[in-house]
Amino acid sequence: MQLVVTGMSHRTAPVAVREQASIGADALGALSPVLMSGGTVLEALVLSTCNRIECYAIVEDVDQAVSHLQQALCDASGIAPELVTQYGYTYFNKRATQHLYRVAAGLDSMVLGEGEILSQIKQALASAQANNTTKTVLHALFQFAIEAGKRVRTETAISHGSVSMGSVAADRLAEVIPDFANAHVMVLGAGQIAAATARRLRSCGVGRMTIANRRPERAVDLGGELHADVTDLATARLMVGDVQAIVVGTAAPFFVLGLDDLTTGQALHVVDLGVPRQVDPRVTDLAGITLIDVDILRSQVHENETLRASFTVAAEAILDEELLKCISWFNTLGLTPLIGSLYALFDEIRQTEIERASRKKPISEAELQVIEHVTKAIIQKILHHPIVQLKVEPDAGKRQVYAEALSALFNLEAPTFESRYVHRRPSDAPVHA
């Protein structure tokens, strides 16, 4: 039984290739039974985000399984197999587990420490469970990874500090505008960058927000989501005197906001998210106008990225600790039947001796309860130390020797309980002193 992950991400493949490897929601649902049809795949789970597509699997024949998994991903997405070979990666066992832990902790994300990946991992696990493609091992592995990711974010500041232009802009406005909870901020544009900034403004607690777009009907959904007013750009220019800040994030290749649109003496913060610039830089000649452009924001983004990066060593140390828990659990997985048989044997002996004693002398119900409790406790205490030592032994060879010794000494492979106690003839082999 082997763990394997195969796929590609933003670290290995350009966006043009990742686009070809993307798999829609419907195709993902149909992919699950295909993954399990290879004959050698015991469990499988697909993690699909905008920056990665990966298949985790528990397999028997590694080479056959990897080929099957990669072909299934190609068939589902339509990407050419040679691109998967060129831009993909495949990891096994401990390396695969380390990779998943880094993904869960946000150390492998395009934005270091981002938190969305944890939700995506949970969704991937839930989807695999719904499709019955995960069992004991993958379920436990992903639960371990999720807990490791949570611990990294709790014990370090790797997810602190905004690292996108829009988020940094919103945070800056929340800091510099007095009484932000009652402030009015206008966002020009409803595209991806403008929308992300608007969402951040709302999460920062802005009092009132107006979203203006050349085609206001395209901003209606965003306005409804954020409880914001929606208007067109022409009307927005007439409202400039009523706001404390303007965020410009359109796709226009020209100045959307110029000298003629603003009034001197007004206390106004203007954020220009455009490249090329969408706000005439001469607006800073007007008294009271503060212009925040991408160069200013980029310096803050870089500062926050540096801060996050400073916690990677601590994050890696946490992941190493968490990885040991997973490896310890995985190493004992094969011992479960043996340990179960050992406990079952001792319990059968316990019950047999209680029954034998009860035939010699009647035992009351109260006495039986005491005997049951005491004898079970004795078994637990007798077996606890050897079982723990067996589980924590780091050397796989020694662990195997111990397991085989237990099995042989207690005849755990015997087909029936009675056969373990049949008197055997002494061996004809000579006995050596």
Catalytic residues: 50
d(CA 124, CA 91): 19
SS3 222: helix
What is the DSSP code string of 266-277? --EEEEE--SS-
- Please tell me what DSSP assigns to residue 257: B
Q: Which two tokens stand for residue 307?
A: 């801060």
Do strands 2-9 and 89-92 pair parallel, antiparallel, or not at all (unpaired)? Answer: antiparallel
CA 45 to CA 42: how far, in whole Å?
11
Residue 413, exposed/middle/buried by CB under 10 A (0-12, 13-18, 19+)?
exposed
State which amino acid sits at residue 383.
L
C-alpha dihedral (419, 421, 425, 427), degrees to nearest 10: 90
- Note whether 5 and 55 are within 8 A (CB): yes
Instruction: Let me know: does 173 contact 269? Beta carbons within 8 Å.
Output: yes
List of residues 6+ apart from 420 with CB closer than 8 A: 345, 410, 411, 414
DSSP 172-194: HHHHHSTTGGG-EEEEE--SHHH
Q: What are 15's two structure tokens?
A: 């966006």
SS3 356: helix
Tell me which residue of 320, 268, 276, 274 sits closest to 297, measured CA to CA. Answer: 274
Helix, strand or coil, per DSSP, at residue 279? strand
